[in-house]
Amino acid sequence: MKRVIGIGGIFFKSKDTKKIKEWYAKHLGITGSDETGTVFEWRSAEDSDRKGQTVWSPFKDDTKYFEPSTKEFMFNYRVENLVALLDELRKEGVTIVGKVEEYDYGKFGWIMDPDGNKIELWEPPAQNEFPGAIPMK
């Protein structure tokens, strides 16, 4: 079974999300940010008709979304079969956080690594088409 197949997003805390988005736009060219962040759209190397997205998103520094981690960041990894992977990880003794959540833009599950980092696992929709920017909590 494949496990991680790519990076779905990079999320980090910021005291001033507006200011940090402006800094990244000015100095690194990361533009197009809405309230959730920036979505980088790309095409699959194996099948150029398949689209994918990677999200870059600063969160308010008081967000609870990263809990139970106390870290300032959270990685989001793309996976192919979230439910099967979580079952396998559970058998391997990995800490699972919460329950799988499903939206029109994919399924989400969360685990903890040994350093206390919360990791978000994302299974994009089967057709790999997205209705727009992925809303962040």
H-type helices in the chain, by residue range?
17-28, 82-91
Please report whether residue 131 resides in a domain. Answer: no
Q: What is the pLDDT of residue 9?
A: 92
Assign residue 92 the CATH number of its domain.
3.10.180.10
pLDDT digits (tens, 9 = 90+) for 17-76: 989 988 888 888 888 766 778 888 888 777 787 788 888 999 999 999 999 999 999 999
Q: What is the pLDDT of residue 134?
A: 47
Please report whether residue 42 resides in a domain. Answer: yes
Parent domain of 60? 4-123
Q: What is the pLDDT of residue 131?
A: 45
pLDDT range class, residue 130, cuts 50, 70, 90: very low
Residue 79 reports pLDDT greater than 60: yes
- How many domains does the structure of the chain reveal? 1
Please report whether residue 86 resides in a domain. Answer: yes
- The H or E element spanning position 60 is strand 51-60
**pTM of the model as a whole:** 0.82
CA gap 94, 97 in Å, rounded: 10
Please report whether residue 133 resides in a domain. Answer: no
Please report whether residue 33 resides in a domain. Answer: yes
